[in-house]
Amino acid sequence: MPGSLTPQKRSLGLLILLLAIALATSSACKKNVSVATPGPTVAIQIVPSPTPSVTKVMALKPAFSGVALSQRDEVLTKIIEVTQKRLQSYGVVGQATWDESYVRVQVLVNGEEEFESVKGLVSARGNLEFKKRTCKDRSCSNFEDEAVDLGTEDITKAYPGRNFERPIINIEFNDHGSQVFCQLTKELAGTPNKFSIFLDGKELLAPVTKMAICDGKAFIEGADFSAQGVKLLAGQLSGGMLPVEVAVSDVP
């Protein structure tokens, strides 16, 4: 009959249809299959969290002995000014305020150890003295010191540094300090005599000088100086000298 399919043609068509279904199924399965390939090893380092900052408070109580009652307000104001400058130079966030007969200091520190350092920073008098030392013998074990009109008030800048890997404090003088230090070193240059430097009564060093130093700059070093200690002393000198001795205590 015209248009009818023979059994052979039906079998061939069925075979083609089955092949098409099989190919389609295989393609769909391939789309849903993911192949895992080895990749690079990732090292995960666990870094401990830094010590959280905490707020600490202390009181600076001035030694008012010998200070007239009319001058005590001025003394407290000066302590606040010096304290603020020292905190800023040292890099500590803090605030000093006047509270009755003492100065209240509030700081943000990383734990108790840093708080102890800050206590030393703000409570030291910061009295830097230069003296002319005349040697009485070759070793200069016998000497005489003469006061020089040069001190903390003549320093405009103090910052940590290094000299042959040793921690030092770099200092810069104002005009008056530059002139006095220039004249001092000019007198001592080429002689066995020295100039000595004291901080709060402790001798830091007593060097000889080969030439006059007239550029308004100098540095201070000490046998027991450490990087942290130098940072602390530089902060004290940058803030200036306290007008009176102070004692650190808890806030009343």
Tokens 């004291």 belong to residue: 198
Using DSSP's 3-state secondary structure scheme, residue 241 falls into: coil
Report yes or no on 218 lying in a domain: yes
Kindly report, residue by residue over 171-212, the tens digit of the pLDDT: 999 999 999 999 999 999 999 999 999 999 999 999 999 999
Could you please report the per-residue DSSP string of 98-167?
A: EETTEEEEEEEESSHHHHHHHHHHHHS---EEEEEEEESSTT-SSEEEEEEEEEGGGEEEEEEEEETTEE
Is residue 39 predicted with pLDDT exceeding 70?
no
- Whether residues 89 and 163 fall in one domain: no
Distance separating alpha carbons of residues 83 and 31, to the nearest angstrom: 72
| Domain region containing 63 | 54-125+242-249
pLDDT band for position 31 (cuts 50, 70, 90): very low
Instruction: Yes or no: say if 233 and 239 are a contact pair by the CB < 8 Å rule.
Output: no
Same domain, 165 and 94: no
Domains contained in the chain, number: 2
Tokens of 169: 């404090």
